Amino acid sequence: MFLSEIQDMDKKYYMDTFGSRIPVAFTKGEGIDLWSTDGEKYTDFFAGIAVNSIGYSHPTFVNMVTKQVSSLIHCSNLYYIESQALLAKELVENSCADKIFFANSGAEANEGAIKLARIYFKKQGNPEKFEIITLQKSFHGRTITTLSATGQEKYSKPFEPLTSGFKKVPINDFSALEAAITENTCAIMLEPVQGESGVYPCDYEYLQNVKKLCEEKKLLLIFDEVQTGVGRTGKLFGYQNYNVEPDIFTLAKALGGGVPIGAICAKEHVAKAFAPGEHGSTFGGNPLACTAGLAVMKIMKEEHLPENAEKLGKYIKSQLENLASTSHPVISEVRAAGLMIGIELNKPIAPIVKTKMFEKKYLIANVGENILRILPPLIITQTDADEFIITLKSAIDEVL
Ligand SMILES: *Cc1c(COP(=O)(O)O)cnc(C)c1O
C-alpha cells in the first residue's frame, strides 16, 4: 500500500491522538534497520521507544516466537503456562525480586504495583497508609491512576478528577522528599532514570538516601523500570547501577521484544499481600508474550547486550561531549545511562534537527524544543555509533 493511502485511512478511521505523525510507514525490519513502504532504508536510533532492544528480526527471537505462534498463542490463567513459569524464574534468578506477575503494558504493570503497595499496608492493619510519593517530570502511564502518579500536568490535567493519594516532589531533592512524608505515606515510586521527560537520572547518593529513608520509615520503594529495565541502562535492571534494591519494580517496553508484555516484580514479603482473586489479567503472561520474553532474556545474556549498552552509551556520550567542547557548543549537556541518552541543546532546534535526521534516514526523537532523545537498539556496534555521530553533526550544521 502507498503511504498516502494509509494516511488517508488513518485520518478517516483512527482516533487523532498522535496528531500528524512522521510521514513514513514501515514494512520490514532487520538488525537496526527499517524499510519503508517506498523501499527506503532507515537506521533506527529510537527502537520503537526502547522496545526493540534486540533489533528487528533477530533469528533466535523469530525462531522461538514463530514456533510458539504455530503451537499455542493464548490459553488463560485458569491453567498452568510453561513459558510463564520459565520467564518468571528467569527474572527472579537475575534480579532482586522473588515473585513476578505479568501484565500487558507498562501502565498496567505500574497500576498493579500501586495496588500491591496499597493492599500490603491494608493487610498489615494500616489502611491509612495509601499515599505514594512520586517525582515531578515522571512518567508512569496513561491510565487514570498511573496518570495520577505521573508528575506532568499536561498529561493528567484534562482527565481530572484523578485517583487521590499521589504527591509529587522534585527529583534529586532529598529534603523535599523527606518533608512530603506523612503517616499516610505507603511508598515512594520513581524511575531510576526519567525517560519520557528527557533523560534525567536520579543521583547515586539520592537513591542511597531514599532507600535508607524507606527502611527507617517502613515505606515500600517502587522503581518504575518500564524503560530502564532489560539492559537499557547498561545493567539488566536500572537499580543495579545504584546498588539499591527496590521492594517492587515494574518492566514492560523491551521485555517482549515488541510483543506486548509488562511485569510486576516484587520481594516475597510484599508479593504475598496479593491473595488469590485480588489481581488478574486475561492476556497477561500468555504463552506468546512469555516466549517472546524468554527469547529476549536469552539474547540479552548470549550477546551481552547490557554490557554493550554500557560500553556504547559511554562512547556516544564522550563523542557528543567532545563535539560540545570543540565544534558544536550548541550541545549544552549530554545525559546518559547506558543507551538511554538525552542531548540538551542551548537553542530551540531539537524538532528541526530531528526532521533533518529523518531526511538523512535516521530515526530519533525530541522532547520539547531543546532536547534530542535517542534510544538505539542495544545491538549497535561502534561503527553504527560513529555513523550516527557523523550524521548528527551534519544535521546540526545544516540547521544552524
Ligand atoms: C513507557 C512508559 C510507561 C508506560 O508504558 P505503556 O506500555 O505505554 O503503558 C510507564 N513508565 C515508564 C517509565 C515508561 O517509560
| Domain locations along the chain | 3-58+305-399, 72-302
Whether the bond into 161 is cis, omega within 30 of 0: yes
Q: How far is the CA of 87 from the centre of ligand 1 (A)?
A: 20
What are the beta bridge partners of residue 169?
135
Average pLDDT by consecutive 10-residue portion of the chain (400 residues)? 97 96 98 98 98 98 98 98 98 98 98 98 97 98 98 97 98 98 98 98 98 98 98 98 98 98 98 98 98 98 98 98 97 98 98 98 98 98 98 97
Closest CA to 195 of 317, 351, 51, 330: 51
The owner of cell 541543546 is 345
Smallest CA separation from ligand 1 atom 11, residue: 140
Nearest-5° angle of CA 362, CA 230, CA 63? 80
Grid cell 561503527 is found at: 383
Catalytically active residues, by annotation:
139, 224, 253
Sheet strands side by side (includes 166-169)? 99-103, 262-266, 248-251, 220-224, 185-190, 131-135, 166-169
Q: What is the pLDDT of residue 39?
A: 97
pLDDT value at position 336?
Answer: 98
DSSP H/E element including 121: helix 106-123
CA distance 57 to 41: 15
- Residue pair 297/53 in contact (Cβ under 8 Å)? The answer is no
Q: Count of CB atoms within 10 A of residue 92's CB?
A: 15
In this structure, are residues 237 and 92 in contact, taking their beta carbons and an 8 Å threshold? no
Which candidate, 229, 296, 227, 309, places its Cα nearest to that of 256? 296
Q: What is the pLDDT of residue 255?
A: 98
Q: What is the distance between the alpha carbons of residues 398 and 392, in angstroms, rounded to a whole number?
A: 10
Measured in Å, residue 49 CA sits from the centre of ligand 1 at: 9
Pocket test for ligand 1, best of 46, 140, 225, 340 (most atoms within 8 A of CB): 140
Determine the distance separating the centroid of ligand 1 and the alpha carbon of 400, expressed in angstroms: 34
Apex 110 CA angle, 115 and 291, nearest 5? 115
The C-alpha R_g of the chain, in whole angstroms, comes to 21
Q: Is the CB of 308 under 6 A from ligand 1?
A: no
How far apart CA 389 and CA 369 sit, in angstroms, is: 20
End-to-end CA distance of the chain: 37
38 three-class SS: coil
User: 72-302: what CATH class?
Assistant: alpha beta
CA-194 nearest atom, ligand 1: 13
User: Cα of 224 to ligand 1 centre, how many Å?
Assistant: 8
3-58+305-399: CATH topology is Aspartate Aminotransferase, domain 1 (3.90.1150)
User: What is d(CA 198, CA 145) in angstroms, rounded to the nearest whole number?
Assistant: 22
Strand partners, 251: 263
Q: Residues marked as binding for pyridoxal 5'-phosphate? A: 106-107, 139, 224-227, 282
Cα(328)–Cα(320) distance, rounded to whole angstroms?
Answer: 9
Total-model pTM: 0.98
> Which ranges of 239-381 does DSSP label H, i.e. alpha helix?
268-271, 287-302, 305-325, 350-359
Ligand 1 pocket member 106 (CB < 6 A): yes
